[in-house]
Amino acid sequence: MTENLSGLSSATEIAETIRGKIRAQTGLTASAGVSYNKFLAKLASDFRKPDGLYVITPRMGRAFVESLAIEKFHGVGPATARKMKQLGVANGLDLREKPLPFLERHFGRSGAYFYWIARGVDERPVQADRPRKSIGAENTFATDIFSLEAARAELAPLVVKVWRHAQAMGAQGRSVTLKVKYADFKQITRSRTTTAAIATGPEFARLVMGLLDPVFPAEKGVRLLGVSLSSFCGREAEADDQLNLGF
In the predicted structure, residue 202 carries a pLDDT above the cut 50: yes
Question: Would you call 45 exposed, middle or buried from its count of C-beta atoms within 10 A (0-12, 13-18, 19+)?
Answer: buried
Give the residue-averaged pLDDT of 187-198.
Answer: 93
The mean of the pLDDT values for the chain is 86
Q: Which CB contacts under 8 angstroms, 24+ apart, belong to 6-15?
A: 12/53, 12/55, 15/53
Q: Is the pTM of this model over 0.75?
A: no
Q: List the domain range (segments joined by +) for residue 40.
A: 11-117
Confidence bin at 38 (pLDDT 50/70/90): confident
> What per-residue confidence (pLDDT) applies to 130?
57
172 lies in some domain: yes
Give the residue-averaged pLDDT of 23-28.
Answer: 87
> What per-residue confidence (pLDDT) applies to 131?
59
Give the residue-averaged pLDDT of 128-134.
Answer: 66
* Co-location of 167 and 82 in the same domain: no
19 lies in some domain: yes
> What per-residue confidence (pLDDT) applies to 235?
43
DSSP string, 16-64: HHHHHHHHHHH-----EEE-SSHHHHHHHHHHTTTS-EEE--HHHHHHH
Which percentage of the chain shows pLDDT scores above 70?
90
Angstrom CA distances, 238 to 152, 187, 199, 231, 246, stand at 33, 30, 19, 11, 22
Give the separation between CA 199 and CA 205, rounded to whole angstroms: 11
In the predicted structure, residue 85 carries a pLDDT above the cut 80: yes
CATH of residue 105's domain is 1.10.150.20
- Give the number of other Cβ atoms within 10 Å of residue 143's Cβ: 8
Q: What is the pLDDT of residues 170-191, one digit of tens each?
A: 888 999 999 999 998 888 999 9
* Co-location of 110 and 152 in the same domain: no
> What per-residue confidence (pLDDT) applies to 168?
85
123 lies in some domain: no
CATH of residue 231's domain is 3.30.1490.100
* Co-location of 153 and 75 in the same domain: no
* Co-location of 172 and 138 in the same domain: yes
Give the residue-averaged pLDDT of 126-134.
Answer: 66
Give the separation between CA 247 and CA 179, rounded to whole angstroms: 9
* Co-location of 182 and 225 in the same domain: yes
Q: Which residue has the higher pLDDT, 207 or 36?
A: 207
Q: What is the pLDDT of residues 88-121, one digit of tens each?
A: 999 999 999 999 999 999 999 889 999 998 998 8
Q: What is the pLDDT of residues 225-245, one digit of tens each?
A: 999 999 888 544 433 333 334
* Co-location of 20 and 99 in the same domain: yes
Cα dihedral 20/23/24/25 (nearest 10):
120
216 lies in some domain: yes
> What per-residue confidence (pLDDT) applies to 207?
96
Dihedrals phi, psi of 55, to nearest 5 degrees: -115, 130
Question: How many domains are there within the chain?
Answer: 2
214 lies in some domain: yes
* Co-location of 112 and 161 in the same domain: no
Terminal Cα-to-Cα distance of the chain (whole angstroms): 19
In the predicted structure, residue 2 carries a pLDDT above the cut 60: yes
The secondary structure of residue 70, as a DSSP letter, is G
* Co-location of 110 and 147 in the same domain: no
Confidence bin at 127 (pLDDT 50/70/90): low
> What per-residue confidence (pLDDT) applies to 129?
57
